[in-house]
Amino acid sequence: MTRLVRGEIRKLFTTKLWLWLLLGAFAITAIFMSFTIGFDGTEGNPNPSLSTETGQRNLFAVAGSAGVFVLILGIIGITGEFRHQTVTPTFLATPHRGRVVISKLVTYALAGIGYGVAVVLLAIAIALPWVSARDIDLSLTENGIPGTLAGVVAGVAVYALLGVGLGALIRNQIAAIVGALVYLFIVEGFVSALPTIRDYYKYFPGGANSALVGAQQPGVTLLEPWQGGLLLVAYGLVFATAGTWIAVRRDVS
C-alpha cells in the first residue's frame, strides 16, 4: 500500500494541476476574507461584527471554501485515469483494484490536509494585520478560533475524499465536476436560502462543514461542531466506500 501511495503522489505532482487549484484556493480565500473584513460594520450587513466571537470564527471559517478546489482535484485524480485510458494498465499493474482506489483516497486526503494548512496560514496572514489595523482585538488562541482552524483543515481533507469517491462513482470527468459544482453552488444555495426547507440545510455536506468550522449563517440553524464533523466524515466515508465498491466491480472498458 505504501508503494501505491508513493506512486499516486508522484502522479499528483507530475502536472501543475495541483498548483493551479491551490492558487485558486488562495484566491477565493483572500477574496472572501477581504469582503468579510472590508464590509464589516457597514449598514445592511447581516453578518456579526468582527469584534464578536462569532464574527471572528466566521472570518476564519471562509478559508473552508478551499474545499471545492480539493473536491475538483480528487475528482480529476481518479476520472483522469478513465479519460486518458490509463486505468487499464493501472489495474493490470495492481490487480487488487480496491487498493488502487484506497491509495488514491489516502493520497488526496493528505493533499487536502496540505491545502487546508496552506489556506489557514494565508487566512492568518491576511486577518491579523488587517483586523489589528481596525483596532479590533484578535487572538488565535481564544473565541473558539483554534477549533475553527482545525475544522477548516479537517473539512478540506474530507472534501478530497468526497471528490475521489464521486469520481469513482461517475467516472466521466466533466459530468462529475459540473454535477459537483451545480450541487454546491446551486442546490445547497437554494436549500440554505428558502425558508420552507432551510432547516434541512444542516444535514447537507455544506451545512455539516459550516457546523464543523463553527460558522454561523443568518437565519440558518446548524449542528454542533462535533456533530457537523461526524456527519461530514460520514459523507466522506460513504462516498469513498461506494466509489471503491463500484471501481472493484465495474468493467473498466
| pLDDT tens digits for range 17-39 | 999 999 999 999 999 999 999 88
CA angle 223, 228, 234 (to 5 degrees): 140
Alpha-carbon gap, residue 67 to 160, rounded angstroms: 7
Q: What is the pLDDT of residues 120-175, one digit of tens each?
A: 999 999 999 999 888 888 889 988 899 999 999 999 999 999 998 898 888 888 99
User: Which cell is 127 given?
Assistant: 486577518
User: Residue ranges per domain, the chain?
Assistant: 2-249
Tell me what pLDDT residue 14 has.
Answer: 87
pLDDT band of 92, cuts 50, 70, 90 = very low
For residues 14 and 104, is the Cβ–Cβ distance under 8 A?
Answer: no
Quote the radius of gyration of the chain (alpha carbons, Å): 19
For residues 159 and 213, is the Cβ–Cβ distance under 8 A?
Answer: no
Percentage of residues in the chain having pLDDT higher than 90? 52
| Cα–Cα distance list, 72 to 105, 120, 138, 167, 239 (Å) | 13, 19, 33, 9, 14
First CA to last CA distance, the chain: 25
